[in-house]
Amino acid sequence: MQNTALVETTSEEQEAQIDSKFAELLKPAGYRILVRIRPPQETLERYIESRLQMPEEVRERELVGQVWGKVLAVGPDAYQDVKKFPTGPWCQEGDAVVFRSYSGTRVMFEERLYALINDDTVQAVMSPDGTKVIERA
């Protein structure tokens, strides 16, 4: 019998290693943020776990309309414009974020989808495990 906690940890460790490797290869320039995009299935599982009551059709539209990701790196100029961000950065490395659909430049690396998005594209921030909203800016 296999210990599922060990399998999950190993998988998470592997994901973190791949993310770290990619963040070293592709550093965001200027005001851009490097994000690993969550696969649609992972997002769907979050909806199911949250026990939100909504019709399947609405759930599918929500999946297309929202994009979730994990912030891997922040460019040197991100959130530096005090007129645009008077209260400081909206997110930081490690945060789970929601950003505008189809925004940024998409890149595949080791069968994972990443995006370089603009700093003002972030719409919401959650804790890395997605359990609570983070108060920033």
| Angstrom distances, CA of residue 20 to CA of 38, 90, 104 | 16, 22, 20
Note the pLDDT of residue 72: 95
Mean pLDDT of the chain: 79
Q: Which domains does the chain have, with CATH numbers?
A: 4-126 (2.30.33.40)
| Angstrom distances, CA of residue 2 to CA of 5, 14, 16 | 9, 18, 22
Note the pLDDT of residue 61: 63
Note the pLDDT of residue 130: 59
Reported as a single tens digit per residue, the pLDDT across 77-88 is 999 999 999 999
Reported as a single tens digit per residue, the pLDDT across 44-73 is 666 667 766 667 777 666 554 557 889 999
Note the pLDDT of residue 7: 44
- Residue 85 vs residue 8, higher pLDDT: 85
Given pLDDT bands bounded at 50, 70 and 90, which one contains residue 133?
A: low
Given pLDDT bands bounded at 50, 70 and 90, which one contains residue 106?
A: confident
CB 96 within 8 A of CB 70: yes
- Intra-chain end-to-end CA distance of the chain, in Å: 47
Note the pLDDT of residue 128: 60
